[in-house]
Amino acid sequence: MTAPKRDLAREIAWFNDRMGKTKRIIVGQEDLVKKATGKIRKFQSDLQEDWHRLKVLTELQVVENGLPENISILRSKIAQKIKHASRRDITIEQKESLERELVVMHECIRRLCQHPFVIGYPGFEGSQSNDFDDAHHGARLCLVCSFGERDSGSIATEDTENGFSTLQKQPGRIVKRTDMKIVQGFAFLFGGISKIFEIDLVVILNLFDKKAGCDWVDWPKEMSVSAK
């Protein structure tokens, strides 16, 4: 007695046929995935462009809003008084009185200012190759009222905002990164603080207008104070 004959050739043909179809389906689906991936990339790039454009527009809006009138007036009064106090043809009493007034006005502007135009540099957590000795804190400085802040506690790196309790990024405030020495130059010297008031508000607004959307600002040399 022999085993019943099976139609193996037919079964083989059927499986070959089915595998061929499955392969074609896979190729078709891969093609769809490729197309979809391309579309997603295009959407991601559009989104990135829109995000950047939005950033530019948002910063331009802050520049256009400028400063509230009271702050802008107070700022130019401070600038005038600093100039006046540095004159040689005034008496010591006049100079001291101007300096006392300046202290009060300075405190006042710092209290009222919303710190819309800020420059600074991020902290660095240090590199392993240097045993983290090269770690340093970040610092920020308001160009309107000269309020400065160093990050405290944890280091604020490029991607984090830790440690800045006042000058953190927020709507209505532009924070631009610039050379560390520039910020330190302004922050270290008392004269450096007053230097900020010597920079005309229009100059600051123009600079932020020109650099809208950029994280970094090349600080103009003529507006710098060197750190001691």
Residues in contact with Zn ion by CB under 5 A are: 113, 115, 142, 144-145, 147
**Cβ proximity of 157 and 174 under 8 Å:** no
In the bound state with Zn ion, the residue whose beta carbon lies nearer, of 145 and 174, is 145
CB of 197 to Zn ion, least distance (A): 11
CB of 117 to Zn ion, least distance (A): 8
Output the six-digit token pair for 22: 């499955």
In the bound state with Zn ion, the residue whose beta carbon lies nearer, of 98 and 145, is 145
In the bound state with Zn ion, the residue whose beta carbon lies nearer, of 144 and 156, is 144
CB of 159 to Zn ion, least distance (A): 24
Integer CA distances (angstroms), 197 to 37, 74, 149, 194, 216, in order: 53, 10, 17, 5, 22
CB of 161 to Zn ion, least distance (A): 17
- Cα 166–chain centre separation: 15
Q: What are phi and psi of 28, to 5 degrees?
A: -60, -45
CB of 70 to Zn ion, least distance (A): 13
In the bound state with Zn ion, the residue whose beta carbon lies nearer, of 74 and 98, is 74
Q: Can you tell me the distance from the alpha carbon of 20 to that of 14, in angstroms, rounded to the nearest whole number?
A: 10
In the bound state with Zn ion, the residue whose beta carbon lies nearer, of 144 and 175, is 144
CB of 100 to Zn ion, least distance (A): 22
In the bound state with Zn ion, the residue whose beta carbon lies nearer, of 74 and 156, is 74
**Cβ proximity of 141 and 118 under 8 Å:** yes
Nearest Cα residue to 132 out of 120, 123, 124, 141: 124
Q: Can you tell me the distance from the alpha carbon of 75 to that of 196, in angstroms, rounded to the nearest whole number?
A: 10
How do the residues of the chain divide into helix, strand and coil, expressed in percent and rounded to 5?
A: 55, 10, 35
